[in-house]
Structure 1
Amino acid sequence: MDLRQLEYFVAVAEERNFTRAAQRVHISQSGVSAQIRRLEKELGTELFDRSGRSAELTAAGEAALEHARAALAAAGAVGQAVGEITGLLRGNLGIGMVIGCAVTPLFDALAAFHEAHPGVELSLREDNSDRLVHDVRTGSLDLALIGTETRPEGLDCLTVVAEPLVAAVPPGHELVGPEVSLAELAAHPVVCMPPGTGLRAVFDRACATRGVEPVIALQASAAGAIADLAARGLGVAVLSESMAAEFDALTPLPITDAREPALLALASRPGASAAARELIRYCRTAFRISDDQVSSSEVTPR
C-alpha cells in the first residue's frame, strides 16, 4: 500500500461517497475506485459496503480508518520537519497589529519573510491589544504586535519598544513648560486611547497608583486622531514619546510621575510554529534587537 491509497481511503470514508471523494482529491471517480480496490486486494478484505446509496465502512474499514489517518499525519509531520530544516516553510501565518500603530519595521519584516518564504500565506489584521492577546492565546493568531504595560500571562513576549508616556498640548497652552505632573494634567480634559490598549493601561495604572482621577473627554484608537483633537484645544493628548514627536502642532511634555514605560511587544504562544519563529527572527532584525536585548526583553519590565 502507499500513501496515495490511504489518502483516497480516508477521503471516501469521510465523504461516504466515491464521487465527492474524487472531487476532494482532484482525480476521477474511476481512479479513486481503482486505488481502493487495489488496497482492498492487498489487505484481503473489503473496506466499504457498496450495496447502499452511500459508501459505508465495513468492520475492517472502521478498524483501518484510525491507522490510515495516523499514517497520513505522520507523513505530513515528516514533510513539515524536513521543511523546517531546509527553510521550505509552508502554510498560513496569522499576524495581529495594534490599531493605529503603523510600525515600519514590522512591515519590513513581513516583506523580507514573504520574499524568503513565498509558500507561507500571510494575513494581517488590526485590533486592540486585549483582543489580540486573546486571539494569540486561543490560536486564532500566531503572533501579534501589541501595546502593553506588562507581559501577558502564558505568552512569550519580545519587547521591541519601551518608552514613557507624555502629555502633548498645542502652543500657548497653560501647561507648556519643561514637564507636567499627573495632577496638573488631570486638571484638564484628556484625550487618549480607549480601554484595551497598552497606552491606556499604562496611563490608568499610573493615575490609580497616585490617586489621580482624570476626566477622559475624548477617546480615539489612532494617534493622529488624538493629536488632531488636542491641537484643536479639545483636551490634553496622552501619547507615547515617539508618537507625540510625529506631530509638529503639539508640544510634548514629560510626565514627572508616570515613568513606567509603555511597551510595544511581539506576543506568541510557547511552542510557536516554525513559521512564527522564523518571522520573529526577521522582526528581531528589522527592529535591530540584539541577542543581549532579546534575553532581557523576554522578561518584560513592569
Structure 2
Amino acid sequence: MELRQLEYFVAVAEERNFTRAAERVHISQSGVSAQIRQLERELGAELFDRSARTVTLTVAGKAALEPARAALAAARAVGQAVGEVTDLIRGRVTVGMVSGCTVTPLFDALASFRGAHPGVELSLLEDRSDRLAEAVRAGTLDLALIGAAAAVPEGLDALTLIDERLCVAVPAGHPLARRRRVTLRDACSHPLVCMPPGTGLRTVFDDACAAQGVRPPIALEASAPDAIADLAARGLGVAVLSDSMARHYGDRLTALPLDDITTPALLVLVWRSTHNPAVRELLRHCGQAFSGPADQGGPGPAAGSR
C-alpha cells in the first residue's frame, strides 16, 4: 500500500468520478483506475461501486475513507514538522476562489508566496462560494476566497477584505437611470441580471427579497461581473452588483445603491486551521498584499462572483 494510492482513493471518493479525480491529482484516468485496482487487490475488497454513472463507496470503501485521510494528513505532518525545524516550508496548499474572481491582490499574494517558498505545491480551484466554504470545512481546501452575506460562515476563521452594499446598474436611457433613490421593489419591477445561487451577492439579494415578500424577476444569470455588466449594457436586464463592481462600469452603466438593503456583501478569506505552516505563511502574504491596496481605497473593483 502506497500513499499515492490512498491519495487517489480519497480523490475518487470526494469527486465521485474517476475523470475529475484524475484531473485533481494530475495523472491519467487509466493511471488512477490501475492504482485503485491494485489497492483493492491488496485490501481484498472493492472500494467503489462502479455500476452507476456516479461512483459511490462500498461498505469497505466507507470504512477505509477516514483512515486514508488520516494517513495522508499524518504524512503531511511529518514533512511539515521537519520543515519547521529546518526553516524550510514544504508541502501543499490548496486555495479556493470564487468563479470569475479578479481580485489581483490574491494573485499577488500567491506569486510572492511562491517566490518565497518554492518547495510548496500550490493548487487553485474555482467554484461557488457555498461549495468553497464547505470544502474548507471538510479539509479538502486549506483556505478560500469567498463571498458571504453579512456574516462569516460558521466554524471558519476569516479575514474580511471587502464589505459593501448592493447596487443596481443600468445603461443611459433606462427608466431607473433618472431616479435619485432606488428600492428593491423599484429594481424588481424590471428584468434582472445577477449572480447565480450560492454566491454571496445572490444570497444577500435573495434574503432581502424574502424579507420584503418580493419575487425577483431574474431574467439572466452569470458568474462574472463583466458578463453581468455587458448584458445590462445591452438592455437585457438591470444588473445586481456590489458597489465597487457597479461603479467600475461607470463608462457604460449608472450605479444606483439599493436604499432599503443595508445587509452588506462580504468578500472574505476563510480557513479552518493554521496548523499547516504553509497556510500560516500564505495568510501572512495575503495580509500584506491586501493591506497595500486597502490604504488606497480597497482591493479594487470587479471582485468576482461573490
Same fold (TM over 0.5): yes
| Superposed CA offset, 1:18-62 (max 9, x none) | xxxxxxxxxxxxxxxxxxxxxxxxxxxxxxxxxxxx9xxxxxxxx
Residue 245 of structure 2 aligns with which residue? 243
Which one-letter code corresponds to 1:80 in the other structure?
Answer: Q
Contact 1:146 1:265 in 2 (8 A): yes
Superposed, 1:78-227 pairs within 5 Å as: 80-84=80-84, 87-149=87-149, 150-176=151-177, 177-227=179-229
Question: Does the alignment pair 1:273 with 2:272?
Answer: no
Distance change >3 Å, CA 178–CA 138, structure 1 → 2 = same
Residue 253 of structure 1 aligns with which residue? 256
Query: Structure 1 stretches of 5 or more lacking a match?
Result: 1-9, 15-53, 55-72, 291-302
Which one-letter code corresponds to 1:283 in the other structure?
Answer: C
Measured in 2, the distance between the counterparts of 1:211 and 1:245 equals: 28
Distance change >3 Å, CA 209–CA 101, structure 1 → 2 = same
Query: Structure 2 stretches of 5 or more lacking a match?
Result: 6-41, 43-72, 295-306
Count how many residue pairs are aligned between Structure 1 and Structure 2: 222
Measured in 2, the distance between the counterparts of 1:282 and 1:202 equals: 29
Contact 2:96 2:132 in 1 (8 A): yes
Measured in 2, the distance between the counterparts of 1:107 and 1:154 equals: 26
Distance change >3 Å, CA 203–CA 77, structure 1 → 2 = closer
| Superposed CA offset, 1:58-93 (max 9, x none) | xxxxxxxxxxxxxxx999856633523654110111
RMSD of aligned alpha carbons: 2.4
Which secondary structure state, in structure 1, belongs to the residue aligned with residue 175 of structure 2? coil
Distance change >3 Å, CA 272–CA 160, structure 1 → 2 = farther
Contact 2:80 2:276 in 1 (8 A): no
Contact 1:178 1:254 in 2 (8 A): no
Residue 267 of structure 2 aligns with which residue? 264
- 1:284 aligned to which of 279, 284, 287: 287
Distance change >3 Å, CA 85–CA 189, structure 1 → 2 = farther
Identity value in percent = 62
Measured in 2, the distance between the counterparts of 1:221 and 1:75 equals: 37
Measured in 1, the distance between the counterparts of 2:158 and 2:116 equals: 24
Distance change >3 Å, CA 181–CA 92, structure 1 → 2 = same
- How far did 1:139 drift? 1.5
Larger radius of gyration: 1
